[in-house]
Amino acid sequence: MKSSFKKKAIIIGGSKGIGKSISTNLKKAGYAVTSCSRKEVDTAKLHSVDTFIKKNKSADLIVLNSGGPPPKKFKQITVDDWKKYFNQLFLSFFLILKNLDIKRGGYVFYISSSIIKEPGNSIIISSSLRSAMSSLLKSYSLENLKKDITVINIAPGPFKTKRVKELVKDIDKFEKSLPSGKIGNPDEIGKFVRFIAQEKIKYISGSTVYFDGNINKSFI
């Protein structure tokens, strides 16, 4: 008799864009998915994260995902900006990883950004804090080797999401300027996460996988 037990997946920022695509694909893979919108857990607000942690004690798979800060030049950034987005992009994810029990053999996916490899001069808050979180995630992966928890940092370039519309004025012109001639489809990342989890791919743990359409010219 086939077991009716389903593995549990939690998607932070799972109501739209890349998070929604991952949620849809994991359901196809047979996971029982809890897909959290900002109303259900707002990572910019620690009390919201605390409520989430009290309600969710364990999972087989978690996706850490959040929208990004607005573009600002170096001298435009305020202390309040740093405090807000430190909570949203770093501290909240740390608290979730610290308190949520990822079961043996489970998965942690972090949606960062390709800018962690090549920071610019406008999305400074995002590149700084996502780089810091990427470093923390590597430490987390080493900490959980004995539990066989697979940790993957997914670093997207421009994708067809609300975020790109916020950052780019002329989408068509921008898309034509890209090496691939197109903006990424969130479903590609959803299918990637589904494949890794469904096929039990484990040896990739601790890695950063770039989905940037060859924007970054580095081969490392």
pLDDT greater than 60 at residue 173: yes
> According to the model, what pLDDT value does residue 40 have?
95
> According to the model, what pLDDT value does residue 166 have?
67
CA distance between the termini of the chain: 48
> According to the model, what pLDDT value does residue 1 have?
44
> According to the model, what pLDDT value does residue 92 have?
98
pLDDT greater than 80 at residue 2: no
> CA 146 to CA 217: how far, in whole Å?
36
> According to the model, what pLDDT value does residue 118 have?
86
Average pLDDT, the chain: 92
The 10 Å CB-count burial string (b at 16+, else e) for 136-146 is ebeebbeebee
Express each pLDDT in 112-137 by its tens digit: 999 999 888 888 999 999 999 999 99
> Which has more confidence, 19 or 178?
19
- Which amino acid does the sequence have at 191? K
pLDDT greater than 80 at residue 181: no
List of residues 6+ apart from 72 with CB closer than 8 A = 81, 122, 124, 125
Strand order in the sheet with 150-156: 32-36, 8-12, 58-64, 101-111, 150-156, 207-211
> Which has more confidence, 135 or 169?
135
- What percent of the chain lies above the pLDDT cut of 90? 74
- Residue that is written with structure tokens 């990739």 in the block: 204
DSSP string, 67-78: --PPPB-GGG--
Domains of the chain in start order, with CATH, are 8-211 (3.40.50.720)
Q: Is 174 exposed, middle or buried (0-12, 13-18, 19+ CB in 10 A)?
A: middle
H-run or E-run covering 132 = helix 124-143
pLDDT greater than 60 at residue 149: yes
Q: What global pTM score does this model have? A: 0.92
DSSP 184: B
Express each pLDDT in 38-84 by its tens digit: 999 999 999 999 999 999 999 999 999 998 898 899 999 999 999 99
Q: What is the mean pLDDT of residues 6-33?
A: 96
Read off the pLDDT band of 4 (50, 70, 90). Answer: low
H-run or E-run covering 195 = helix 186-198
Q: What is the mean pLDDT of residues 200-209?
A: 97
Distances (CA, A) of 220 to 27, 117, 162, 167, 178: 34, 10, 29, 27, 20
